[in-house]
């Protein structure tokens, strides 16, 4: 009986503060919400912001990182507690076993932390890239265009959709890291052909293919939603890079800047005011999916 009490005391000493803190915060949130008796003044869901999908993935990765850190700190503490319990109760102890298990846990958690950190950095790069392109695309509003961000699709999302008198554009954004400074102009240049992106670190074909798939999906969806034929044009944004066209491009590939000049020169469908209104209505309905607090 004494041994059991000692074990419970050791566990309470290790885990007690954590559960106490969690209980205080949760209780405060519950009673504070009931006391205020307030609700949001907004009656409609909000439009999706640039990088909305990546932001949610970013937050989930942060939660996983916090869980991994808690795992590293709590489990070794528990093993030390059990070791102390065995020693105090006169039971046979095997310190090497506890040390071995603790080291295994720490190395496993360290590997997971490194993987999650790498994933977090990649998501942050993509999120920043989408926000940078969105800021530039919003300049098109001055010329009567409409711009929507993070449009959900059957398989993911379209980063940006631009609607104007010269057509509908599905804009895919790709964030790609550069090499360190001081390596010359070639290190910040991407050569574009009809099918490839030739970065200094390698060749990619997937972004061009993805942009075309997204435009095809958007064309089909808008045609069905509006009841008129809509042909969306693909576009690809590579923020921060110097884009050099090696061949006649099969789509608009740019670094996100000067959209007012570039979008006025492209497009494969003339749209009237009523058609633009119908298309924007469907896009607005589909993008209004951010729940208010």
Contacts of 17 (CB under 8 A, 6+ apart): none
Percent of all residues in the chain with a pLDDT value above 90, rounded to a whole number: 45
Q: What is the pTM of this model?
A: 0.78
Write out the DSSP string of the chain.
Answer: -HHHHHHHHHHHHHHHHHHHHHHHHHHHHHHHHHHH----S--SPEEPPTTHHHHHHHHHHHHHHHHHHHHHHHHHHHHHHHHHHHHHTT----HHHHHHHHHHHHHHHHHHHHHHHHHHHHHHHHHHHHHHHHHHHGGGGGGT-EEEEEEE-SSSEEEEEEEETTEEEEEEE---PPPPSSS-GGGGEEEE-SS-EEETTEEE-HHHHHHHHHHHHHHHHHHHHHSS---PEEEEE-TTSEEEESS--SSEEE-S--HHHHHTT--S----HHHHHHHHHHHHHHHEEE---
pLDDT-based confidence at residue 149 (cuts at 50, 70, 90): very high
Please report the pLDDT score of residue 203 as a whole number: 92
The Cα 257–Cα 240 span in angstroms is: 9
State mean pLDDT over 29-56.
76
Please report the pLDDT score of residue 2 as a whole number: 55
Q: Is the pLDDT confidence value at 259 over 90?
A: yes
State mean pLDDT over 145-149.
95
The Cα 60–Cα 247 span in angstroms is: 41
pLDDT of 96-137, one tens digit each? 666 777 777 778 878 888 898 899 999 999 999 999 999 999
User: Which sign, positive or negative, has the C-alpha torsion 200, 201, 203, 208?
Assistant: negative
pLDDT-based confidence at residue 188 (cuts at 50, 70, 90): confident
pLDDT, mean over the chain: 83
pLDDT-based confidence at residue 79 (cuts at 50, 70, 90): low
């Amino acid at each position: 009986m004494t041994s059991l009490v000692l074990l419970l005391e050791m566990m309470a000493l290790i885990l007690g503060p954590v559960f106490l803190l969690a209980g205080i915060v949760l209780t405060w949130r519950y009673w504070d919400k009931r006391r205020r008796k307030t609700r949001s003044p907004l009656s409609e869901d909000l439009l999706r912001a640039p990088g909305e999908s990546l932001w949610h993935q970013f937050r989930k990765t942060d939660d996983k990182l916090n869980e991994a850190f808690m795992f590293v700190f709590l489990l070794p503490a528990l093993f030390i507690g059990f070791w102390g319990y065995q020693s105090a109760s006169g039971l046979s102890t095997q310190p090497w076993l506890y040390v071995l298990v603790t080291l295994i846990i720490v190395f496993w958690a360290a590997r997971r932390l490194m993987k999650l950190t790498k994933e977090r950095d990649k998501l942050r790069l993509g999120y920043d890239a989408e926000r940078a392109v969105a800021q530039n695309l919003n300049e098109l509003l001055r010329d009567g265009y409409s711009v929507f961000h993070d449009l959900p699709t059957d398989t993911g999302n379209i980063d940006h959709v631009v609607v104007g008198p010269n057509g509908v554009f599905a804009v895919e954004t790709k964030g790609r890291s550069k090499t360190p400074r001081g390596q010359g102009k070639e290190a910040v240049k991407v050569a574009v052909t009809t099918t490839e992106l030739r970065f200094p670190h390698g060749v990619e074909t997937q972004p061009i293919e993805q942009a075309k798939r997204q435009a095809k999906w958007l064309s089909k969806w808008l045609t069905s939603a509006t009841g008129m034929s809509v042909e969306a044009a693909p576009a690809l944004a590579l923020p921060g890079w110097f884009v050099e066209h090696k061949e006649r491009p099969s789509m608009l590939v740019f670094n996100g800047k000067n959209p007012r000049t570039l979008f006025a020169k492209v497009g494969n469908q003339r749209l009237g005011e009523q058609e633009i209104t119908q298309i924007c209505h469907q896009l607005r309905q589909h993008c209004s999916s951010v729940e208010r607090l």
